[in-house]
Structure 1
Amino acid sequence: MSNFIYARSAVGSKYAVEVQVENCLRYAEQMGLKIDGIFQDKGFSGLDNNRPCYSKLLEVAEAGDTIIVSSAGLIHRNMLTLKSLEAKYNLIFLDRAGN
């Protein structure tokens, strides 16, 4: 199984992608997880399915792989899509993991 990090920010967002990645890397280190890839989209809505790095992540990740994200809304804002992702991948949301 592989472990990935996904980070996203919308246009004008103050929640910097770099900070998200740092937090996810810190969590992975604490949990002893080797990160196999980091995917970052800057300036995209969470409702947009045509994000370049989001699309690449879904091409690379296989069922059961772990994807670490700072918050659920950063990977997708559509609840049906989010539930579908949760059914396929081991999604870890740092805001739910107590970090």
Structure 2
Amino acid sequence: MASNTALRSAAKLIRSSQSFISKSSSGSRGFHSTGIKRGGHGHDEPYYMHAKHMYNLDRMTNQGLKMSLAVFTGFSIGVAVPVYAVIFQQKKTASG
């Protein structure tokens, strides 16, 4: 008697899972993406400078100013972030 009930419940479970699978596979959910643009190389050719001309630092206008600013900015961030982190941690430890 108990095995008969177990078989019925197993069959009911299989039927319900099959109906669930068929509903979910025929539904409108799923992965999709926009279409791929055909042609070209994925960029606007007149506005894109290709790699062999990209990093000509010797032809850069205002090179001294731009490179000095870039080095100074990188150095400042490299110093300021750890200093801020230490001050923040000390304040947090002192207040707790």
Give the structure-2-normalised TM-score: 0.20
Q: 1 or 2, which has the higher helix percentage?
A: 2
The TM-score normalised by the length of structure 1 is 0.19
- Higher relative contact order structure (alpha carbons within 8 Å, sequence separation ≥ 6): 1
